[in-house]
């Protein structure tokens, strides 16, 4: 007998988008309960100075604040948040992570290898 495991979710702070996916159901056959993506473009806006643009960071932080409210309303059992290449490579990446912490989101800054493995699994 399969035991329900949800809701659990992941927030992916990527180079192009910021996405929240919430899963429910069973571990063997999870179902998507919620899926929202905001095209913040953190990686596309990295300028010659190596920084993400203020506009892109504000859009991403606005999405993250909304996602935080959604996950609280849903009553998440587990939530994992990861930040990838744009945040990892940008000079102002640490400033962005600090701003995330202020809204209650603490992303794990994953390596390029971890990012590639996640992509291979379709995460």
Is residue 83 one of the residues assigned to a domain? yes
Q: Return d(Cα 63, Cα 110) in angstroms, integer.
A: 20
pTM: 0.88
Question: Percentage of the chain surpassing pLDDT 90?
Answer: 71
Q: What is the CATH number of the domain that holds 99?
A: 3.30.420.40
pLDDT at 47 over 90: no
Is residue 15 one of the residues assigned to a domain? yes
Domain count, the chain: 1
pLDDT at 1 over 70: no
Domain that holds residue 96: 8-113
Could you give the C-alpha distances from 116 to 10, 26, 39, 95, 119, in angstroms and in order?
16, 26, 20, 24, 5
Give the pLDDT confidence of 80-119 residue by residue, as tens digits: 999 999 999 999 999 999 999 999 999 999 887 887 777 7
**Mean pLDDT of the residues in the chain:** 90
pLDDT (0 to 100) of residue 66: 98
Is residue 1 one of the residues assigned to a domain? no
pLDDT (0 to 100) of residue 39: 98
């Amino acid at each position: 007998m399969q035991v329900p495991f949800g809701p659990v979710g992941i927030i992916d702070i990527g180079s192009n988008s910021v996405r929240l996916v919430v899963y429910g159901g069973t571990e063997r056959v999870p179902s998507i309960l919620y899926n929202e993506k905001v095209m913040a473009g953190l990686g596309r806006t990295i300028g010659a100075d190596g920084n993400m643009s203020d506009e892109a960071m504000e859009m991403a932080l606005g999405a993250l604040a909304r996602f935080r409210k959604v996950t609280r309303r849903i009553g998440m059992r587990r939530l994992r948040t990861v930040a990838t290449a744009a945040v990892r490579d940008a000079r102002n990446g640490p400033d962005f992570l600090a701003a995330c912490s202020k809204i209650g989101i603490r992303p794990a800054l994953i390596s390029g290898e971890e990012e590639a493995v996640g992509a291979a699994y379709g995460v």
